Amino acid sequence: MHPLIELIKKDMVPALGVTEPGCIAFAVAKAKSYLTSKPERVVLSLNSGLYKNAYTCGIPNSSHYGIKYAAAFGLIMADSQKGLQALEGITPDDDRKAEQLIQKDRIIVKLSGISSALYCQATVYSKHEECTVTIEQSHTNITSIRLNGQSIFHNVIQNRQDTTPLIHQYSVKDIWEAVRSFSEEELSFIQKAFDMNMSLFKEGLQSQKTVILHQLYRMNENTIFSKDVQKSASLLCNGAIEARVLGLEAPAMSITGSGAHGITATLPLYAYSVLNHCTNKQLYQATALSYLICMYIKEYSGKLSAFCGCGIAAGTGMACGLVYLQQGNKEQIDHVIRNMASSITGMICDGGNHGCVMKGMAAVDIAFESAQLAMADVSIESVHGINGMSIEDTLKNMGEIADPGMRETEKVIVDILKKK
């Protein structure tokens, strides 16, 4: 198996709701599983990115949202064996129990620091026991478990600066050529992403909560696939994002640890493919390119930073996929990356919330416009702005705008949330 295919396969993970509440619930549930007596309270320590992203996230199948409720459900009912789908199956009785825990101040949340590097430490206490689970780098990557003060599991993690990520060992040309060589059979696993993300969209279509989805549907001639491919793409993408952030009971196929990234990287391409009668092979190859360009940027920006990775990283990947579906060449891929870098780079992430839909709409629209320009061989020249003299430098610059560039922005966003 080609290393890039293996990388995509490893990174594609089903996630119920926004991944940050899922991470919190998973950590709490894992810590709880080691206790032999009834758990009573939780203390959480989160990096700023995790804190911000989970702050007002909807909880699947619950009327509640946010960090404390994610932890409360982790204590009450979450199953750590389900990973990022740990919150599956919340009942009205679970809702009531979670409310009681919150009212009794049994969930304490602390900020570990301002950082784009994912960090979640959950300590669960019973009357005579305690267990601490620490997660770092990715949403289910447990690096430490301590039971009653004794280490029972420890996994040394490598510093990002000490190693070159696999994706950065390839140039954009390498990635482009590899994707073109992949067979339909080799990439057929990507179909699971389309099936899952479309099921989430259809769940949203049946809900009264998804007010933006329904308005986008009306704006698209009251149909899913109209003659307007851009509006159809925006409907699919942002309808699914809305369903996700509001906590509807259906998973998304995540990429780089985010369901919204996974949705943005796939569903606009699916809409284009349906309306332009592309083959499965073309769609799968375009999606592989979309995923890999998203990963390339995210390895610089970090998993959880102050810029909107869904719009900027996944949006740029999606724009590359659109050029690919139009049989664009490598130079036109470079064009579209420079156009995207010159447009929405710097759009903030203020957490996983209803506003993600608006950012998704901006991403879809600018990706289609950037691709249209690129296909006409029109782009912003390398000499301007944050564009690099090589296309790889452009992707690097986009990521570094987020981290270290927007660390102070992250602090301000978190301070604003704390005041609410």
Q: What is the pLDDT of residues 249-284, one digit of tens each?
A: 899 999 999 999 999 999 999 999 999 999 999 999
Total domains in the chain come to: 2
User: What pLDDT shows up at residue 156?
Assistant: 78
30 near 126, Cβ under 8 Å? no
Please tell me whether residues 142 and 273 are part of one structural domain: no
CATH of the domain at 140: 3.30.1330
Domain final position from 138, 160, 182: 160
CA 377 vs CA 44, 208, 289: distances in Å = 51, 43, 20
Which pLDDT tens digit goes with each residue over 321-368?
999 999 999 999 999 999 999 999 999 999 999 999 999 999 999 999
Whether 132 and 20 map to the same domain: the answer is: yes
Residue labelled with tokens 């949330």: 417
DSSP code at position 166: G
Same-domain status, 133 and 234: no
Residue whose C-alpha is closest to residue 257's, from 5, 49, 15: 15
402 pLDDT higher than 90: yes
Q: What is the dihedral of CA 120, 21, 70, 114, to 10 degrees?
A: 40
Cβ atoms of 240 and 201 closer than 8 Å: yes
Q: Are residues 153 and 171 in the same domain?
A: no
Q: Quick one: 91 and 189 in the same domain?
A: no
DSSP symbols for 211-226 = HHHHHHHHHTTTSSS-
Residues 174 and 267 placed together within one structural domain of the fold? yes
pTM of the model: 0.93
Cβ–Cβ < 8 Å for 267, 198: yes
Q: Of 134, 160, 186, which residue is a domain's last?
A: 160
Q: Which whole number is the average pLDDT over 24-53?
A: 96
Q: Are residues 274 and 292 in the same domain?
A: yes
| Same domain (yes/no): 182, 151 | no
Per-residue pLDDT reduced to its tens digit, 79-95: 999 999 999 999 999 99
What is the residue-averaged pLDDT of the chain?
Answer: 95
What is the helix (H) or strand (E) element at residue 126, kind and residue range? strand 119-126
Q: Which domain holds residue 142?
A: 16-160
Q: Are residues 122 and 196 in the same domain?
A: no
